[in-house]
Amino acid sequence: MATIRDVAKLACVSVATVSRVINKTGYVHADTRHKVEAAVKQLNYTPNEVARSLYKRKSRLIGLLLPDITNPYFPQLARGVEDEMQKNDFRIIFGNSDENHRKEQEYIQTFIQNNVVGVISSTNDPNSDTYSKLKIPVVFLDRTSTDSPSVYSDGREGGRIAAREMISRGSKRITVMQGPVHIRPAQDRFQGALEVLEENKISYNVIQTTSFSFAEAELWAKELFDKHLDTDGIIASNDIVATAVLHEAHRLGRRVPDDVQIIGFDDIPLSALLSPSLSTIHQPAYEMGRQAAGLLIKLIQEGFVEHRNIQFPVHFIERDTTRKVEHHG
Amino acid sequence: MATIRDVAKLACVSVATVSRVINKTGYVHADTRHKVEAAVKQLNYTPNEVARSLYKRKSRLIGLLLPDITNPYFPQLARGVEDEMQKNDFRIIFGNSDENHRKEQEYIQTFIQNNVVGVISSTNDPNSDTYSKLKIPVVFLDRTSTDSPSVYSDGREGGRIAAREMISRGSKRITVMQGPVHIRPAQDRFQGALEVLEENKISYNVIQTTSFSFAEAELWAKELFDKHLDTDGIIASNDIVATAVLHEAHRLGRRVPDDVQIIGFDDIPLSALLSPSLSTIHQPAYEMGRQAAGLLIKLIQEGFVEHRNIQFPVHFIERDTTRKVEHHG
DNA sequence: TTGTACGCGTTATCAC
DNA sequence: GTGATAACGCGTACAA
C-alpha cells in the first residue's frame, strides 16, 4: 500500500513528478524518470484507483446488470462483456436483477455511488427514468430501446424461422410456448411465431409460462402434454423449457422427432449435447456481450457512436429434435 | 450528484452535521435532523462511496474471482455469493480467471487498487503469495487451503460414492475420467473413485481430460468409446462431460443404463432434465456460495471466525443413467 | 524540467 | 449540539 508520496520521497522528487511518469503526461527528464521507475518498482507501487476516481470523478468501473446469471443464456453474455472490458482495462461490478424493478434501482444507485463510467443492463423497461436520468452512457443488452444504444438479436424473425421450420417439416398441430409477458425478447419470438402460423393457417395452441426457471420448466412441460397430448410440434420459449419438454416427451413415450418435433431458442451450449440434440434458434450471445461492451467503451471514450443499435441475425440450428426436410426434385 | 456540501447549504447547517445524521453518529437535535433529512430528500442525495472509501481506506466492494462463469457449475456459486453480499450491502467486482495465473494476479491487483474489503476466489494455488501477502480477508471457494478460510465440498468422498454406486449397480469394467490435473477438486474426486475401485479390485481404466469445456467434452467422450468400447460404467469428471458421454453413448447405440451406466458430478440444474436424467454426485453449489460470502463478511466485520473451513457433504442423486440397485432379502 | 498547493467528497477530531 | 478543518491519495494548474 505504498502511496505516491512514498515513491516521491524515495526517488527524491515531488509527487507531481511521480504522477507525470506514472501517467506519461508532461515532460520529465530521462534520469528522473529512471529514478522514479526504480522507486516504483522497489516499493511495488500501484496507484490507488479510489483516489484517482475521486479526483477525476470517474472510475475504470462499469456496472453490469443481468436478470439471473443462473439462467444458462446469461453467462455467455456476461463472458462476452467481461472479456472485452478486461481487454480494455475496465472492471465490472455485477448484479442480478431477478427482473425486479426495486433490485434494479438499488444496483443502478450503487453503481452511480461508485462512480462507474457506464452501465450495461438487460432491463425490462429501458425507457424508465431510472435510465434516462443517468448522466453516464448506458447500453441495453438483449433488450431494445429506441432512444438508447442497444445490442440484441432479431427475436421476431427467430420466432418466424422456428414456425417456418416446424411447418416445412410437417407439424400440423403446433404448440407455441409463450414466455413471460414482461420479458420483451420472449414476446418478440412468440409474436414472430404466431405471425407465420396464422399466415399459413396452421392450427396451434398456446401455453403461457411466467418464468425461465429450471424448476418451473418441468411444470410447463407437464401442463403442455396434459392439455395438448396430440400436439406434434412444440416451439419452446427457450432452450431450458425445450429441454424440459424433451424430457417430458420421453417420459410419456412420445418419440422425438417422429411423433413430435421440438425447437428451442438461444442455443445454449448444452443444447448440442442433449439426446436427441436440440434443434434451436441460435443467438450469438457471447458476441452480443462483446459488442455491447465495445459500444459502451466507445461511448465512454468518444461520447458518441454512429450505430447506436446493433441487431444480430439469428438462425436455425438443425439438430435432431426436428425431422429432415423433404427435398422434392 | 449532489454532495454533502449542497445538502449542508440547503439545510443551513455544516457538513459535519449532515455527516452525523447520514451516519447516525453523534448527537444531533431532532429539529436539525429533520431539516437535514428534508434537504437530503429534496436533493436526492446519496453519499459518494468513492470519497468514503478513500477516507476510510475501505469500500463496500468485494472481489469475486471464478474460473469461468460459462461453466454451468459456477453461476450457482456466483449467485449464492451475490445474494448474500447483496443482502449485506456489499457489491461485487467480478472476474473470470480461466485458471490462468496471470489473469488472476491482474484481477487481485485491481481489486486491491479499488479498496475491496475482501476476496472470494476459486484459485488453483491458494497458497501462492498472491494471496498470503494480501492484507484483507480471503475466502477460497470450491478450493481447499490449509491456512486460509475455505468453503468446499468433500470431493474425495464424492468420488468414493460414485465408485461404490457403480459397483453396487453391477458395472464390471469401469472407466474413470480424470479431470484436469491442476484442478484440485477434479483430482480429489478422481482419487476417491480409484481408492474404492482398487479396494474392491474392480477392473478400470482412465481417460485423462484437460478441461471442462463444452467443445472438448465431446472429444473426450469420443476418445473414451474409441478406446474402451466395452466399458460398462463411466464415472465422469463432471456433469458436462457426463452429458457429452451420454450423448455419444446414444449415438453409438449403447443403451444407458442397461449397457453402460454413467455418473456425473456437480448436479448442475440441467442434469435432471436430460433424457435419461443424469445420476450424479450433488454439490450444494448455491449454498456453498452463500456460506463463503457469509464467512467473508464475518471475517471483514469481526476479524475472525471460529470455523475457518466449511466442508459440505456431497451425496448421490439417483436418476436414470444408473440401474436400480438390487435389494436382497 | 520540476515543485507547490489546491480540490475531488467524506469522515473524524477537535474546539466552541 | 454544532461547526471548522485536517486528513484520505491523487492529478493538475501554476509558479519557479
- Give the C-alpha separation, B209 to B317, whole Å: 24
Residue B179 near residue B187 (C-beta atoms within 8 A): yes
Asked whether the domain spanning A155-284 has the same topology as the one spanning A61-153+286-314, the reply is yes
Please judge whether B54 and A51 are an interchain contact, meaning their C-beta atoms are less than 8 angstroms apart: yes
Please judge whether B95 and A78 are an interchain contact, meaning their C-beta atoms are less than 8 angstroms apart: no
DSSP string, A216-227: HHHHHHHHHHHH
Neighbours of B306 (CB within 10 A): 5
Neighbours of A282 (CB within 10 A): 20
**Mean pLDDT, chain A, integer:** 95
Please judge whether B49 and A110 are an interchain contact, meaning their C-beta atoms are less than 8 angstroms apart: yes
- The alpha carbons of chain B give a radius of gyration, in whole angstroms, of 26
Low-confidence ranges of chain B (pLDDT < 70): 327-329
Residue linked to cell 529512471: A34
- Give the C-alpha separation, A277 to A279, whole Å: 7
> Which amino acid type is present at position A299?
L
Contacts of A232 (CB under 8 A, 6+ apart): A171, A172, A173, A174, A259, A260, A261
- Whether the CB of A127 is below 8 Å from some CB of chain B: the reply is no
Q: Which numeric CATH code is attached to B155-284?
A: 3.40.50.2300
Which of the four pLDDT bands, split at 50, 70 and 90, describes residue A26? confident
CA atoms within 13 A on the CB side of B115: 22
Chain B environment of A243 (Cβ under 8 Å): 270, 273-274
Chain B environment of A102 (Cβ under 8 Å): none
Nearest to B166 by CA among B91, B220, B234: B234
Chain B environment of A114 (Cβ under 8 Å): 49-50, 59, 61, 91
CATH superfamily assigned to domain A61-153+286-314: Response regulator (3.40.50.2300)
**So what's the pLDDT on residue A329?**
41
pLDDT at A223 over 90: yes
Taking one residue from A and the other from B, the number of pairs with CB-CB distance under 8 angstroms is 158
**So what's the pLDDT on residue A327?**
55
- Give the C-alpha separation, B311 to A258, whole Å: 47
- Give the C-alpha separation, B134 to B65, whole Å: 15
Residue nearest to nucleotide C8 (CA to C1'): A55
Provide the 8-state DSSP code for B196. Answer: H
**Among B75, B95, B276, whose Cβ lies nearest the Cβ of A69?**
B75
CATH superfamily assigned to domain B4-47: lambda repressor-like DNA-binding domains (1.10.260.40)
pLDDT tens-digit series, residues A98-107: 999 999 999 9
Distance of C1' in C10 from CA in B218, Å = 55
**So what's the pLDDT on residue B246?**
97
pLDDT at A76 over 90: yes
**So what's the pLDDT on residue A177?**
97
Which of helix, strand or coil describes residue A294?
A: helix
**So what's the pLDDT on residue A260?**
97
Residue A4 near residue A47 (C-beta atoms within 8 A): yes
CA atoms within 13 A on the CB side of B313: 4
Length of chain B: 329
Domain regions of chain B by residue span: 4-47, 61-153+286-314, 155-284
Please judge whether B270 and A243 are an interchain contact, meaning their C-beta atoms are less than 8 angstroms apart: yes
Neighbours of A23 (CB within 10 A): 10
Chain B environment of A246 (Cβ under 8 Å): 273, 275
Q: How far is CA B37 from CA A113, B46, B131, in A?
A: 19, 11, 43
- Whether the CB of A174 is below 8 Å from some CB of chain B: the reply is no
pLDDT tens-digit series, residues A98-134: 999 999 999 999 999 999 999 999 999 898 999 999 9
**So what's the pLDDT on residue A325?**
83
The three three-digit cell numbers of residue B126, written as one number: 491458494
**So what's the pLDDT on residue B147?**
79
Q: In what order do the strands lie in the sheet with B118-121?
A: A309-312, A150-153, A138-141, A118-121, A61-66, A91-96, B91-96, B61-66, B118-121, B138-141, B150-153, B309-312
Contacts of B31 (CB under 8 A, 6+ apart): none
Distance of C1' in D16 from CA in A210, Å = 71
Cis peptide before A67 (omega within 30 of 0): no
Neighbours of B245 (CB within 10 A): 31
> Which amino acid type is present at position B270?
L
Give the nucleotide with minimal C1' distance to the Cα of A55: C8
A316 beta partners: A281
Predicted TM-score (pTM) of this structure = 0.96
Nearest to B141 by CA among B305, B270, B312, B299: B312
